[in-house]
Amino acid sequence: MKVLLVGGGGREHALAWAISKSPKLTKLYAAPGNAGIANCAECIDVSAEDIPAICKAVKELGIEFVIVGPEAPLVDGLADRVEAMGIPVFGPSMAAAELEGSKGMMKDLLAKYNIPTADYQRFDEPDAAKEYIRIKNHPVVVKADGLAAGKGVILSHTLNEAYAAVDQIMIEEAFGNAGQEIVIEEFLIGEEASFFALCDGIRAIPMAGAQDHKQVHDGDHGPNTGGMGAYTPAPVLDDAIQKRIMDEVINPTVEAMAKEGKPYKGVLFAGLMIGEEGPKVIEFNCRFGDPECQPIMARLKSDALEMLLASAQGNLDKLKLKWDPRAAMTVVLAAEGYPGRNAKGTPINGVEDADAIEDVMVFHAGTALDDNGQLVSNGGRVLGVTALGDTVEDAQKLAYKAVDTIDWPKGFCRRDIGWRAIGR
């Protein structure tokens, strides 16, 4: 089967690495891919967000299955365009991807179908938002309604912090058009976790739970990022909690989307707060998490291509997933200055040595090769150093051993990934 993988980050490298092991695969292409993905796929010079060019490539290359990694092309309708060509696609339609594309729409759906989430209000005018915050007079979370690359969420503990968050999103337009509307939520208490389920429009099956680390510095300090590391499984998501997530969150959401005429296919990524009352939805995403996808793919024992195809073709009832019982962890190496401005083109050495360590996989997120064949940085989050171990602590030790094998003076990482699980 000829397959096109859309995207060029760490999530897509993990998917490409897993898919490339399938005996069903005859040829894997990636658009645009990166220096790491090039080791297991043929990269084509097409942007993940250039939908006409992707459709043209699908036709010219004789692609039989399209797998969409990032959220933006899904929200813009890439899956609809590919399906209209008669080609199966992994990822939700434009209407279903609105679960991530509009936080307001997502919250309204949860409220309508009594799916547990934080109390909220939607606003398209800053003064009304500030008046609501003044009346509430307790910590709130201010969110840009649209796509903001995982960064459009501001936790506000005081009135002044909340007012400043409204100004930053709506007036200063820190997240562009994504902040034309905002959602203000109650501040939930508990432990955050990520849960992934495969959906085929009718049913859902659980994949895995994980926890990531959003803030840039050790101890969960500093600004939010796309994610500085992740591990799976997450001890907070025990069997009882996972059953509740499926019964109270995932299955009701899939049923609700079908009732709304927006059947959901692909992976449903629930960002959850696990508190005294059980799981509550913080957000939904219409794609695999990045970096959560990396440790999840490291643990997957099933045929990844077969798994994704079953979701696209509505055959999840025939699928039984197999997992490595060990833990997996990814530590993100980022460029100095991230999540702010960072230099590109800085040389990185030692990646092959790290990748050669047993039970270690180094996934490329923002890399390229210069004219001399030297691996260089080409983004904010650059590498995802991933390791397997009998426990989260074992995986952590091996991941940092591999990190310390890499020679990149202009890079940095958090040194405490996994602290919640290890602290338990």
Q: What is the pLDDT of residues 227-251, one digit of tens each?
A: 999 999 999 999 999 999 999 999 9
Nearest to 272 by CA among 178, 196, 184: 196
Query: What is the C-alpha to C-alpha distance for residues 231 and 209, in angstroms, rounded to an integer?
Result: 9
Q: Does the pLDDT of residue 408 top 70, yes or no?
A: yes
What's the rounded Cα separation, in Å, for the pair 392 and 231?
Answer: 7
Question: In CATH, which of 1.10.8.10, 3.40.30.10, 3.30.1490.20, 3.30.70.1880 is domain 125-180?
Answer: 3.30.1490.20
Half-sphere exposure of 96 (CA within 13 A, CB side): 30
> Between 174 and 83, whose confidence is greater?
83
Which segments of the chain belong to CATH 3.90.600.10?
A: 327-423
**Are the C-beta atoms of residues 380 and 366 closer than 8 Å to each other?**
yes
Number of continuous H segments (helices) and E segments (strands) in the chain? 15, 22
CATH 3.40.50.20 occupies which residues in the chain? 2-93
Percentage of the residues of the chain whose pLDDT score is greater than 70? 100
CATH 3.30.1490.20 domain range(s) in the chain: 125-180
**Digit-coded pLDDT (tens) for 289-316:** 999 999 999 999 999 999 999 999 999 9
What are the structure tokens assigned to 104, written together?
């307001």
CA 6, CA 56: separation in Å to the nearest integer? 13
Tokens of 330: 């990814």
C-alpha to C-alpha distance for 226 and 216, rounded to whole angstroms: 9
Q: What is the pLDDT of residue 146?
A: 85
Q: Read off the pLDDT band of 174 (50, 70, 90).
A: confident
**Which residues make Cβ contacts (< 8 Å) with residue 274, sequence separation at least 6?**
190, 191, 192, 193, 236, 237, 241
Contacts of 135 (CB under 8 A, 6+ apart): none
What H or E segment, with its residue span, contains residue 354? helix 351-355
Question: Domain 2-93 carries which CATH code?
Answer: 3.40.50.20
Please tell me the predicted confidence (pLDDT) of residue 114: 97
pLDDT at residue 11 tops 90: yes
Instruction: Name residue, tokens 């990520």.
Output: 194
pLDDT, position 65: 98
Over residues 179-201, mean pLDDT? 94
Mean pLDDT of 319-345: 96
Average pLDDT over residues 358-366: 98
CB 176 within 8 A of CB 167: no
Q: Domain 191-318 belongs to what architecture?
A: 2-Layer Sandwich (3.30)
The Cα angle at residue 406 between residues 410 and 223, in degrees rounded to 5:
45
Q: Which two tokens stand for residue 326?
A: 């060990």
Give 327-423's CATH code, choosing from 3.90.600.10, 3.40.50.300, 3.40.1350.10, 3.30.1540.20: 3.90.600.10
The pLDDT, as a whole number, for residue 151 is 72
Residue from 336, 341, 304, 343 nearest 412 by CA: 336
- pLDDT for position 150: 67
At CB < 8 A and 24+ separation, what contacts does 342-347 make? 342/377, 342/380, 343/377, 343/410, 344/376, 344/377, 344/378, 344/379, 345/370, 345/376, 345/377, 345/378, 346/376, 346/377, 346/408, 346/409, 346/410, 346/411, 347/374, 347/375, 347/376, 347/408
Q: Could you tell me what percentage of the chain is helix, strand and coil, using 3-state DSSP and rounding each to the nearest 5?
A: 35, 30, 35
pLDDT above 90: percentage of residues in the chain: 90
Q: What is the pLDDT of residues 24-42, one digit of tens each?
A: 999 999 999 999 999 999 9
pLDDT of residue 169: 92
CATH 3.30.470.20 boundaries in the chain: 191-318
pTM: 0.94
Residue 424: band (very low, low, confident or very high) from pLDDT cuts 50, 70, 90: confident
Per-residue model confidence (pLDDT) at position 81: 98
Is the pLDDT confidence value at 14 over 90? yes
Whether 407 shows a pLDDT value over 70: the answer reads yes
- pLDDT, residue 152, reads 83
Q: What is the mean pLDDT of the chain?
A: 95
Instruction: Enter the tokens of residue 190.
Output: 């508990």
**Segment among 164-173, 198-207, 258-267, 403-412 with least mean pLDDT:** 164-173
Task: Report residue 149's pLDDT band, with 50, 70 and 90 as the boundaries.
Answer: confident
Q: What is the pLDDT of residue 240?
A: 96
- Taking the C-alpha atoms of residue 366 and residue 57, their distance in angstroms, rounded to an integer, is 23
